[in-house]
Structure 1
Amino acid sequence: MPDRPERAVPGWLKTALELGPVVLFFLGYLYLKDESYAFGGTEYEGFIVITALFVPLVLASTAALWWLTGRLSQMQLVTAILVTVFGGLSVWLNDERFFKMKPTLIYALFAAVLFFGVWRGRSYLAMVLSEALPLDHAGWMILTRRMAWFFVGLAVTNELVWRGMSTETWVNFKTFGLPVAMFIFFFAQARLMKAHGLDDKG
């Protein structure tokens, strides 16, 4: 999407647009998980039906974020693309495995990008979070390496969960486990942020 003049929007609205589709996917799954529907002579389980609804919802929320804020982060754009591709494949082929693979590919891609930046001596993470987390260069490099390995861990965990556990367990993991893991990760970086924070150094 082309750049537009960046505008400030209420924090609650931005959060609702970013997290709303995930919450609605979870609620929709709870409602439809034991149902099945026939379309065009093909039987679709509730998970596939809610995935079909989730894809346009993500695209609409992403478009709304761009319209309201004037910009999209690379993470938001990549996520929307992969949701469309793998959600679409799951619906088209009536195979939930494609959609379950999506988090693995997202986190593996983010890890690869961050590792590539570290190899070049740059922190691509700083390009996204520098306004929220004012750190010196050394701090950003440490945080970027840790974040890259964290994404590797999330990708591996997603593979283990969707391949070895039930769909309901995977949905709970995706809805609650991933955000909690992200919160714990950043909470665990408190010492790093204190040691390398620019505010603390005047």
Structure 2
Amino acid sequence: MSPKLGRWVRLFVDYAGLVAFLVTIAITGSAIAASWAVVAGSLAALAAGLVLEKRLAPMPLVTALFGVIFGGATLVFHDERIIKMKLTILDGGIALFLLTGALRGKNPLKALMGEAFHLPDPVVRTLTLRYALLFAALAIGNEVVWRTQSTRVWALYKFPGTVVLIFLFALSQTPLILKHAEEEPGTGPKP
């Protein structure tokens, strides 16, 4: 597969479920119809990844699993509240995972980041607690939005709303990360 085609396949695999959801909800305004779309788009993305890339990409796999479980339950019970609660459960689960790990003396954020950042453990604990609070706030925000606003407004909160909020939060943590970033092995002192 050519590199250019590979990029398009990667984009399709990563975003087909989300795009199908957003387009359908924008056209129909129905979370039920969008649930059909997210299930179909997610399964198509997984199939494309498996056939064309010979692998199941982790993030689309998680997205597809959540999409199929919550989208399927929405369709079976014909209740759009189920798909709307997915974001609450996902964000709340992330917050609980981070908070539980931190309270047990672990650094779950460090495990997720891997070798991306080299930070002292106390700084990672601070970031872990901050991210736990962020995801708890996003879960609460989702509950408020889907219970008080139209499905279209909720869809905008879901995307791009939460993505923008997470990006801005991550950007706000940059000074802490830069202040405490450890030197790479074999590099000289920081200026």
Shift in CA distance, 147/63, structure 1 to aligned 2, threshold 3 Å: farther
Offset, 1:78: 4.7
Offset, 1:57: 1.8
Instruction: Give yes or no for contact 2:9–2:48 (8 Å, CA) kept in 1.
Output: no
Offset, 1:81: 2.8
Q: Whole-Å Cα distance in 1 between the matches of residues 8 and 116 of structure 2? A: 16
Instruction: Answer yes or no: is 1:146 the counterpart of 2:130.
Output: yes
TM-score, normalized by length of structure 1? 0.77
Shift in CA distance, 136/154, structure 1 to aligned 2, threshold 3 Å: same
Hey, what does 1:129 align to over in structure 2? 113
CA RMSD of aligned residues (A): 2.7
Instruction: Give yes or no for contact 1:23–1:175 (8 Å, CA) kept in 2.
Output: no
Offset, 1:15: 5.0
Shift in CA distance, 123/173, structure 1 to aligned 2, threshold 3 Å: same
Q: Whole-Å Cα distance in 2 between the matches of residues 64 and 134 of structure 1? A: 35
Instruction: Give yes or no for contact 1:194–1:200 (8 Å, CA) kept in 2.
Output: no
Hey, what does 2:140 align to over in structure 1? 156
Hey, what does 1:40 align to over in structure 2? none
Hey, what does 1:31 align to over in structure 2? 27
Map 1:1-202 onto structure 2 (within 5 A): 14=10, 16-33=12-29, 46-62=30-46, 68=53, 70=55, 73=58, 77-199=61-183, 202=187
Offset, 1:31: 2.0
Offset, 1:13: 5.2
Unaligned runs of 5+ in 2: 1-5
Shift in CA distance, 100/57, structure 1 to aligned 2, threshold 3 Å: same
How many residues are treated as equivalent by the alignment? 181
Q: Whole-Å Cα distance in 2 between the matches of residues 13 and 142 of structure 1? A: 38
The percent of aligned pairs where both chains have the same amino acid is: 31
Deviations 1:6-59 (A, max 9, x none): xxxx677545532342123112222223xxxxxxxxxxxx43122112113223
Instruction: Give yes or no for contact 2:20–2:41 (8 Å, CA) kept in 1.
Output: no
Unaligned runs of 5+ in 1: 1-9, 34-45
Instruction: Give yes or no for contact 2:32–2:80 (8 Å, CA) kept in 1.
Output: yes
Instruction: Give yes or no for contact 1:79–1:106 (8 Å, CA) kept in 2.
Output: no
Q: Whole-Å Cα distance in 1 between the matches of residues 129 and 15 of structure 2? A: 26
Instruction: Give yes or no for contact 1:108–1:151 (8 Å, CA) kept in 2.
Output: yes
Q: Whole-Å Cα distance in 1 between the matches of residues 7 and 170 of structure 2? A: 19
Q: Whole-Å Cα distance in 2 between the matches of residues 196 and 127 of structure 1? A: 18
Q: Whole-Å Cα distance in 1 between the matches of residues 40 and 179 of structure 2? A: 43
